[in-house]
Amino acid sequence: MKQAYFSDKKVVVTGACGTVGSKLVEHLVSDYDVGSLIGLDNNESELFFIDQQYAEHPEVHFFLADARDTAKLTEKFRGVDIVFHAAAFKHVILCERSPFEAVQTNILGVQNVIEAAQAADVNTVIFTSSDKAVNPTNVMGTSKLMGERLITAANSNGHAGGPVFASTRFGNVLGSRGSVIPVFRDQVRKGGPITLTDRDMTRFIMSIDEATRLVIDSAILAHGGEVFVTKMPVIRIEDLAEVMIRELAPRYGLDADEIEIKVIGSKPGEKLYEELMSAEEMRRTVELQSYFSVLPAFTALYQDIEYEYPDVVSREVRNPYNSSNEPVLSQEAIRDFLLSNGLMDDD
């Protein structure tokens, strides 16, 4: 069982105060009965609050640390079985304005995690990546792609018995900090308008709970060097806006018909659709029940790796996995998704 797998494991989560990192901590403690857990983050205030939250869990500890500090990472990785690396800069505009900051954290930070894991003899490292790493059009996506490539290269250059390095790539986590849900909710509360970049824009979606459980599962599945691409439903952003207007306007004493949807045009570097797998990657991909596993383009130098998985659906993928190729959810299905995941609730 997946839960039993972690019961004797010592785990580190970097970026433990972020949206993904904090959920990883929550699920590992509550659902997977992790043996012990160390959470690392450079956000002192949030780290204090999460430390208080787990005060009654003697197996959970939190420390101030930065992905840019290799020595600190090495110290905290000693004796650890699995590292989930979730620390990153993720906001496109901010990375675009300060590109070298993105390089230092999202690229050099990944290399620091790799070197620390090798020095500390960690068993498995899972890097949390993004759909924006596929055919990137901005600094943030490019930095995430380089993070993936560093992880794959680390595994390719590793020896048998060394750390297993792999990545997990997923799309929009609805309700996460900076995502469209809280933006639309606030716009509805103010009576509109709802700002939409393009009426035909589509996106992959998933809840934070789904995203983190699949990241955890990938630590069990990984053989080394893969990029696991999470299967997700697709929505049109305009449908999401219309559903949220209908559902939320009455809560705020407003008439849904009075709230305007205003098209403001795409932001610089923004895509009309999301890509989770490129045409080149498609040729070396295995389809699993919940994932696609993109195998490394280059074989490992010092070991033979057999990429065998449970629940293989197909060893041949014919279509690049992007949101323009996939059927979109109906507005009723979007409504059910939002309600079942508590995404309509006020913060």
Q: Could you give the residue numbers annotated as active site?
A: 132
**Residue whose structure tokens are 């696991």:** 228
Of 90, 124, 171, nearest to 5 (Cα)? Answer: 124
Distance CA 109, CA 119 (A): 15
Question: What is the secondary structure of 294-325 as a DSSP string?
Answer: E--SS--SS-------SSEEES---S--BTTT
Adjacent-strand bridge partners of 64: 41
Distance CA 193, CA 336 (A): 24
Distance CA 241, CA 261 (A): 8
Of 234, 251, 270, nearest to 185 (Cα)? Answer: 251
Distance CA 53, CA 98 (A): 33
